[in-house]
Homo-oligomer: A and B are copies of this chain.
Amino acid sequence: MSVVYDRVALIGLGLIASSMFWAMKRAGLAGEVTGYARSAETRETARRIGLCDRVCDSAAEAVDGADLVVLCVPVGAMGAVAKEIGPMLKPGATVSDVGSVKRAVIDAVGPHIPAGVHFVPGHPLAGTEHSGPESGFAELFDNRWCLLVPVTGSDPQAVARLRTLWEGMGSYVDEMDPDHHDLVLAVTSHAPHLIAYTMVGVADDLRRVTDSEVIKYSAAGFRDFTRIAASDPTMWRDVFLTNKDATLEILGRFTEELFALQRAIRTGDGDHLHAYFTRTRAIRRGIIEAGQDTDAPDFGRVKRDG
């Protein structure tokens, strides 16, 4: 694979940025990659583990001369970063981001992008429950979707070039309208995360069942909720605050259905429960056929000790 951008700047050095760096290196997609993080400790760690070709002490220095700038900070911090780097951007450069919400990022970042600079928001649908500069790995985006969300007037060539970069990092790429993106993600990600956080909080808070019991017996289903609920608190706070309407809409639908199922339990309506539980199996088959999960039994996650 050949170089797609001579100079790439990563602003924010967490799970996504660090995985992008290793994925770009793996495929030789970038000439030089600079990086900046607000925390001195993160910059220190990045230098120690060789994350980025050059770690800079300011965002302005990192974006100086960059052909592509990728904002990899929590959604709530995007606007301030864009305001700071806006005046330093090279004419003809592309600015993108990796935020989980798109309408709010477009509204916050868009006004700070000068004429002659291309703004192409993006969102790689990939992640793990880990965060920070040491959590990244080159394979994170392999076989996963990255959604590009071009804004009005996005230059088709700039979009195509960014697509080439993401494909080079292993992703499939789709384009989507920002409001539809925010609704789709409310369903596939934001509502499930809030629900998982809630359930784990309830378990933690229940006086009659000890935390030690919850922990020992978690493999019966709860365990998966705890992995989701171990995700970065700042990132997720920002997601919910900036994708408020779509998230609340989906949670409203969820509560309606949950109440209907609770009523079926209370009244002993086994047919309703059985029909509901049968219908949900089809979606699972679709996900396996689409290569977005494996059919291997979940149990394989823990190695036997002895």
Which A residues, 118 to 143, have Cβ-Cβ distances below 8 Å to chain B? 125-130, 135, 137, 139-140, 142-143
Residue of B nearest to A139 (CB): B304
Interface centre among A142, A188, A250, A286 (most CB of B within 10 A): A188
Residues of B within 8 A of A209 (CB): 183-184, 187
Residues A253 and B298 in contact in the complex (CB < 8 Å), given A144-B219, A284-B227? no
Residues of B within 8 A of A215 (CB): 283, 286-287, 290, 292
Which A residues, 240 to 262, have Cβ-Cβ distances below 8 Å to chain B? 240-241, 244, 247-248, 250-251, 253-255, 257-258, 261-262
| A interface size (C-beta, 8 A) | 116
Q: Is the CB of B145 within 8 A of A217?
A: yes
Determine the distance from Cα of A194 to Cα of B260 in the docked complex, in whole angstroms.
11
Q: Is the CB of B226 within 8 A of A284?
A: yes
Assuming A170-B304, A229-B277, A229-B280, what are 13 further A-B pairs, CB within 8 angstroms?
A: A185-B217, A191-B202, A192-B224, A200-B284, A204-B283, A218-B287, A218-B293, A223-B293, A229-B284, A233-B274, A237-B273, A238-B270, A241-B268
Q: Is the CB of A297 within 8 A of B199?
A: no
Main SS class of interface, A: helix
Q: Is the CB of B189 within 8 A of A221?
A: yes
Q: Which 10 A-B pairs have the closest CB atoms?
A: A128-B297, A189-B220, A233-B277, A230-B284, A215-B286, A200-B280, A192-B221, A188-B222, A229-B280, A224-B224
Residues A280 and B197 in contact in the complex (CB < 8 Å), given A187-B203, A187-B206, A203-B187? yes
- A48 within 8 Å of B (CB atoms): no
Residues A184 and B217 in contact in the complex (CB < 8 Å), given A253-B206, A284-B129? yes
Q: Return the contact of A187 from the options B214, B226, B254, B293 (Cβ within 8 A).
A: B214
Determine the distance from Cα of A290 to Cα of B294 in the docked complex, in whole angstroms.
25
Interface string of A63-97 (1 = CB under 8 A from B): 00000000000001000000000000000000000
Residues of B within 8 A of A128 (CB): 297-299
Determine the distance from Cα of A118 to Cα of B142 in the docked complex, in whole angstroms.
55
Q: Is the CB of A230 within 8 A of B192?
A: no
Residues of B within 8 A of A174 (CB): 216
